[in-house]
Amino acid sequence: MKLSSRLLVLALVAVPAVPALAVPPAAAAGPVLVAKYTFDSGASATGRVAEQSGRGVPLTIRSAERGAVRFAKGPTGQHATLPARCLTTAKICPRALLEGADDPDLDPGTRGFTWAASVSVAKAQLAGSPNVVQKGVVTTESQWKLQIGQTHGKAQCVVVGRGNAKPYLVRASVSVADGKWHKIRCQRSGAALSVYVDGALKGRTVIPATLSIANDKPLRIGGPNFNTRKDMFHGSVDDVYAQLG
C-alpha cells in the first residue's frame, strides 16, 4: 500500500499540466457588398445587364422616345453611356435608364450604408441635377441618391428618412463635371453623411442617427423616372456598387 501511494505521487509530479486552449475572439462582422455593376459584359439581347456581387439584382434597360444605353470600352473595361442631353426646344427627347427590381438589401434602415459610382460627365451635359444612382424618390417614404449639381458640377449625396420628407444633402467641395473619370462614394455612418471624390473626403454633414431608409422602389441608374426631361444623367457611368454595414 505504501509503494502504490508513492508511485501515484511520482506520476502526478512527473506529468506537466496541459494549458487551457485560448478561445479566439469572434471576428467582427464587416461591410457586405450587396450590389455591383461593372457593365463589362454589356447588355443581353433582351436588354438585361448582369450583377457581379452575386447578391444583387440584374438591371433592365428602360427607355422613352427611342433612348438607348450604349456600352463602350474605357480605362477599366466597359462602361455605360446614357443618351445625350436634349435641346430645350426639342419635341422628341430620347431618354433611358437602368433599373433593378426592389431589393431589401438596398434598404439599410439605420445601418451603415455606402453607395458609389464612377462617372465621366462635362458641365454642358448637366440638365437639372442629374441623378446618377438612387433608390426611392423624394416624394416617397425614403430615399438614398447620388447626383451631380448643375450649377457647379459638384457631387451630392442625398438621404431622406421614413416619416419625414426633409432631404439631407452633403455637397463635395470640388467639381466632377470636367469630362474626366471620377470615383464618387456616398457613405452614411450613424449620424454622419459623407461624400468622397477619388478616394478623398470632400464633404460631411450631420443627419439624425435614427434616420431610417427603406422603400419598395426599384434601383435606378441614370435618372429618377421619365416624367420629366430634367435630372436625367447624360454622361458615362461605371463600377456602381452598394455596401451594407
Q: Looking up cell 501511494, which residue turns up?
A: 5
In contact, 55 and 36? CB cutoff 8 Å: no
* Amino acid found at 201: L
- DSSP string covering 27-60, please? PPP--EEEEEE--TT---TTSEE--SSSSS--EE
The residue-averaged pLDDT of 172-200 equals 98
The residue-averaged pLDDT of 29-33 equals 89
Ramachandran angles phi, psi of 165, nearest 5°:
-80, 5
User: From CA 72, how far away is CA 79, in angstroms rounded?
Assistant: 6
* pTM score: 0.86
Task: Please check the confidence at residue 208 and state whether its pLDDT lies above 90.
Answer: yes
The span from the first CA to the last CA of the chain, in angstroms, equals: 68
**Which pLDDT score, from 0 to 100, does residue 184 have?**
98
**Which pLDDT score, from 0 to 100, does residue 230 have?**
83
Torsion of CA 60, 227, 243, 240, to 10 degrees: 60
- The matching CATH number, chosen from 1.10.357.10, 2.60.120.200, 3.30.460.20, 2.60.120.1440, for 30-37+102-244 is 2.60.120.200
- pLDDT tens digits, residue range 35-56? 999 999 999 999 999 999 999 9
**Which pLDDT score, from 0 to 100, does residue 227 have?**
66
- pLDDT tens digits, residue range 118-166? 999 999 999 889 999 999 988 878 999 999 999 999 999 999 999 988 9
- pLDDT tens digits, residue range 74-119? 877 999 999 999 988 889 999 999 999 999 999 999 999 999 999 9
**Which pLDDT score, from 0 to 100, does residue 12 have?**
37
